[in-house]
Amino acid sequence: MEDRLAAEAAAAKGGSVGKKGRGKAKAPGRRPVTKKRAAMDARREKKEKEAKAMARAEAAASRRAAEKERERTRAVEEERSGAEARKQALADIQKARDDAARKRKTPPSAKARAKEKQR
């Protein structure tokens, strides 16, 4: 008898034990989930999970594509600037050669001028 009274007191105090002392008591007025409803919920959750995975994969793919595009743009820009630098370097070398040639060329001496006049 004391065991029964103790069990009833524990049930009243805790509120989590069901009618027969097994598990939680069900909320009043709530219907149990049917197998059909549980299957529908499982399918819906599976579709949501798949959609999230697809979105993650798509985001990663677009990130990779953007990175590749940036790398291609950088390579083209680097190549173009390198070509311009080569052209500038060649122009500088040619200018230096022209300046050196002009400096080597000395005005004719007085004898050479006199000789030119005689001709």
Tell me which residue range forms the domain holding 70: 34-102
With respect to residue 38, please indicate whether it lies within any of the assigned structural domains: yes
With respect to residue 96, please indicate whether it lies within any of the assigned structural domains: yes
Reduce the secondary structure of 71-108 to three states and give it as a string: HHHHHHHHHHHHHHHHHHHHHHHHHHHHHHHHHHCCCC
With respect to residue 29, please indicate whether it lies within any of the assigned structural domains: no
Instruction: Return phi, psi of residue 84, to 5°.
Output: -65, -40
With respect to residue 23, please indicate whether it lies within any of the assigned structural domains: no
With respect to residue 76, please indicate whether it lies within any of the assigned structural domains: yes
pTM assigned to the model:
0.41
With respect to residue 11, please indicate whether it lies within any of the assigned structural domains: no
Q: Cα separation of 115 and 39, whole Å?
A: 116
For the chain, how many structural domains are there in total?
A: 1
* Side chain identity, residue 78: E
| DSSP structural state of residue 114 | H
- Render each residue's pLDDT in the chain as its tens digit; 119 residues: 667 667 776 666 655 555 565 666 666 778 888 999 999 999 999 999 999 999 999 999 999 999 999 999 999 999 988 889 999 999 999 999 888 887 777 666 777 777 777 76
With respect to residue 15, please indicate whether it lies within any of the assigned structural domains: no
